[in-house]
Amino acid sequence: MESTVLTWRAPSGWSASLPADLDSANTLVLVFGPAALDGAGAPVGELRRVFPRALLAGASSDTVIENGRIDDAVVAVSVTRFAHSRLAVLRSVAGADAFTEGRRMASDLAARDGLVAVLALADGLHVNGCELVRGLVAGLPLGVVLTGGMAADGTRFERTWVIADGTLCAHTATAIGFYGERLRVHSASRGGSVGFGPRRRVTRAEGNVVFELDGRPALALYEQYLGRYASALPASAAHFPLSVYRETEGDTAVIRYVLGIDRARQSITFAGDVPRGSAVQLSRAGRGDLLRAAEQVAHELDAWVHAPDDRRAVLNIVVSCIGRRVVLGEQTDAEIEPVAQFLPPGAAQIGFYSYGEISGSGLAPCDMHNMTLTLTTFHEA
């Protein structure tokens, strides 16, 4: 396995010459770049020409991660040629039911022997990420690692895209299957948001749009808590993501990030379903807590890749939440630094800030999360 990361920025172009010799049927080219790229499209076209046999996939994001750095307005590209593993890619029918498409793609990928992992990328504004993940989980056999994320558009929430089988498109999800006995894939995820204040009941909601909490407009609650930063909604809501409890009494919650607001309807749109009747609580995403969580997940990565004899190539895919980017601001690099610190020399790291991270956490089944840092490593034994 061989892997390298390079960047493209306008107008200077590529940071290094494209490694055309890595092109093969078992080569994965991942592309993460600004949502506005769909208008220009130049680097993607070039990648298609240089790597005609490779499998080309990607997702939009204004902030990307490449080899320990975060960068805005840059296209990050990783080129990985697997020596002992095979790849397959599927895409969903644009606009079709996310659960059904997720299950279909998972079943089709699992139909071939030796499936080890699935990397899923989807349009972050138009594909229901929770349903997509539910569908993928439903179609995958136990033991297959599922990872990935939802394409983003910074804090503009206007348009997102994915590259599915070489084509840049919206309203679509793509799933890449990784096969091979010698392939080792690890994935872990941590959040760090801490619930505070009273638990509230969702008294009016439709899908991922919440109108009322405890009979009071949901938007009014956020405006009250954000005070003078209410005018910066929805981006400023990243400071108070919503904990949605699975059971009324329990402490198991998923964190939901605010994607948008509607002042006329006094509603908030979250990056995942918030069922009516469920118990929710505001969370505080403090910088310290987020960074502590990043360190914890980095330590997990250390355990996977620092086997005594390990000097082999590693591809590390990072999917972090756009909310973390907002909260960490000028200190965003601080969550990538500990990860980079544990990667072996020569490892390729690429990632993006997303509208939803696809990962399992601990023993819990895979889900779509917000406000987490999700790490996945690929290497061949």
Please state, in angstroms and rounded to a whole number, the distance separating the CA atoms of residues 2 and 27: 9
69 in contact with other proteins (CB under 8 A) = yes
- Minimum CB–partner distance for residue 225 and other proteins (Å): 5
Q: Using the structure block, give the residue that is written with the tokens 């609650």.
A: 221
Q: What Cα–Cα distance (Å) separates residue 294 from each residue in 193, 269, 349?
A: 12, 27, 15
Please state, in angstroms and rounded to a whole number, the distance separating the CA atoms of residues 268 and 289: 25
If the CB atoms of residues 251 and 309 are measured against other proteins, the closer one turns out to be 251
If the CB atoms of residues 331 and 341 are measured against other proteins, the closer one turns out to be 331
138 in contact with other proteins (CB under 8 A) = no
257-265, 331-339, 352-360, 366-374 -> range binding other proteins (CB under 8 A)? 331-339
- Minimum CB–partner distance for residue 31 and other proteins (Å): 22
287 in contact with other proteins (CB under 8 A) = yes
Phi, psi of 147, rounded to the nearest 5 degrees: -145, 170
Question: In the window 202-241, what residues touch other proteins (CB under 8 A)?
Answer: 224-229, 236, 239-240
- Minimum CB–partner distance for residue 237 and other proteins (Å): 11
Burial grade of 301 (CB within 10 A; 0-12, 13-18, 19 or more):
buried
Q: Check if the beta carbon of residue 370 is closer than 8 Å to that of residue 356.
A: yes
Please state, as a whole number, how many other Cβ atoms lie within 10 Å of the Cβ of residue 265: 12
198 in contact with other proteins (CB under 8 A) = yes
Please state, in angstroms and rounded to a whole number, the distance separating the CA atoms of residues 261 and 295: 32
- Minimum CB–partner distance for residue 233 and other proteins (Å): 13
If the CB atoms of residues 286 and 344 are measured against other proteins, the closer one turns out to be 286
Pair type for strands 162-164 and 167-169: antiparallel
- Minimum CB–partner distance for residue 167 and other proteins (Å): 33
Binding-site ranges for other proteins (CB under 8 A)? 69, 71, 196-198, 224-229, 236, 239-240, 251, 282, 284, 286-287, 329-331, 333-334
